[in-house]
Chain A
Amino acid sequence: MKILKTFCILLIFFLFFQNYSSANSSQQVDKISKNLRCLICQGQSVYDSQSDFALSMKTLIKKKIDEGKNDDEIYDFLISKYGEWIVYEPKFRKNTIFLWLLPILVFFVGGLIIFKKTKFFKL
């Protein structure tokens, strides 16, 4: 009886853990595929699209996660195959510096103009 009880507890634990880990990996697939552009669809992400390309891509991402690859490794792999265009959020690189820094620059320059024009500082 005791053995049966232990077996049941272990089984429940195992099933729970398996579900938990598969839910985790599926969440990671969703997260990655939301940042990927479906290259054969108009204006859809891989996550949204039901095209063959997107479905294969999701299966591949799941396979890579199961192999123990992290997000960056998967993005790098896909960028090496399809180019930087495939990601919605490009990485911070030499040729994307302007893209990332321009909004911050505009924010500070705008702030400076407001700072200079406001009467508050003239007091």
Chain B
Amino acid sequence: MSKNIKLTSIVLIVLFSFFVLLKGLDKSNTYSPELSTTKINFNFKAKDLFSDDEFFLDDLIKNDEMSLINIWASWCLPCRDEHVYLLNLKSQYKLNIVGINYKDSEINAKKFLKELGNPYTNIITDPKGINSIELGAFGVPETFLIDNNSKLIIKKFIGPLDDSTFNQLTKLIK
């Protein structure tokens, strides 16, 4: 009798472990940044790309209902691909787009904008990458849609914008 109980419990434990591990295989092991907070720190000062003035990010997103913060760099190839979407957002939806120029040289950044166009209302620089970490970013390119009143992230896009994320963005803006 006691032998039977032992055998049954071993089989049950093995079966349980098997199904737990099997279920675990389906789960993606990559970290989902969606889980992190929607709060953002706007209260830091950074230098403007085109002048020596320093701005608080907070002051750059006050005027409109929503703003887009885009982290970019001239050395980042995917940033080139997504640039056309940013230009579209600016021309079609008159969105306030604040650029954060990540670990870039000033000359290259200006060349990049001259070549591809400038969709940004303001651009602040982040030569050490600290400001992007303050925003909770992972790297370039990265885009945050911000509600200016509540100061919360409505949506975070990690990686370059494409047709699908552009559609998502336009639906949220409308």
Q: Which of B5-13, B18-26, B29-37, B82-90 participates in binding chain A? A: B29-37
Residue A53 is within 8 A (CB to CB) of chain B in the complex: yes
Residue from the set B36, B134, B135 with the largest chain A CB neighbour count within 10 Å? B36
Count how many chain B residues have C-beta atoms less than 8 Å from C-beta atoms of the other chain: 17
A53 touches B130 (CB 8 A): no
Residue A82 is within 8 A (CB to CB) of chain B in the complex: yes
B138 touches A59 (CB 8 A): no
The prevalent SS among residues of A at the interface is helix
Residue from the set B39, B103, B138 with the largest chain A CB neighbour count within 10 Å? B138
A85 to B29, CA, bound (A): 12
Question: Whose C-beta in chain A lies nearest to the C-beta of B129?
Answer: A56
A52 touches B133 (CB 8 A): no
Contact flags (1/0) for A17-58 with B, using CB distance below 8 Å?
000000000000000000000011000000000001101110
Report the contact-size class of chain A (Cβ under 8 Å from the partner). 10 to 19
Known: A40-B139, A52-B139, A53-B138. A82 touches B33 (CB 8 A): yes
A60 touches B35 (CB 8 A): no
Partner pick for B132 among A56, A82, A85, CB 8 A cutoff? A56
A53 touches B139 (CB 8 A): yes
Residue B78 is within 8 A (CB to CB) of chain A in the complex: no
**Which residues of B sit under 8 angstroms from A52, Cβ to Cβ?**
103, 129, 139
Residue B114 is within 8 A (CB to CB) of chain A in the complex: no
Residue A94 is within 8 A (CB to CB) of chain B in the complex: no
Partner pick for B130 among A63, A82, A85, CB 8 A cutoff? A63
Write the nearest CB–CB distance from B140 to chain A, whole angstroms: 8
A-B contact pairs, 18 of them (CB 8 A): A39-B31, A39-B33, A39-B138, A40-B138, A40-B139, A52-B103, A52-B129, A52-B139, A53-B129, A57-B133, A60-B130, A60-B133, A60-B134, A81-B134, A83-B36, A83-B37, A85-B31, A85-B35
Query: Knowing that A60-B133, A81-B134 are A-B contacts, what are 6 other residue pairs whose CB atoms are under 8 Å apart, sorted by A's residue number?
Result: A40-B138, A59-B130, A60-B130, A63-B130, A81-B135, A82-B36
Residue B128 is within 8 A (CB to CB) of chain A in the complex: yes
Question: Whose C-beta in chain B lies nearest to the C-beta of A82?
Answer: B36
Write the nearest CB–CB distance from B80 to chain A, whole angstroms: 18
A66 to B79, CA, bound (A): 33
Write the nearest CB–CB distance from A62 to chain B, whole angstroms: 10
Partner pick for B136 among A55, A56, A82, CB 8 A cutoff? A82
**Which residues of A sit under 8 angstroms from B128, Cβ to Cβ?**
56, 59
Residue A80 is within 8 A (CB to CB) of chain B in the complex: yes
Contact flags (1/0) for B28-67 with A, using CB distance below 8 Å?
0001010111010000000000000000000000000000
**Which residues of B sit under 8 angstroms from A39, Cβ to Cβ?**
31, 33, 138
Write the nearest CB–CB distance from B91 to chain A, whole angstroms: 31
Write the nearest CB–CB distance from B24 to chain A, whole angstroms: 17
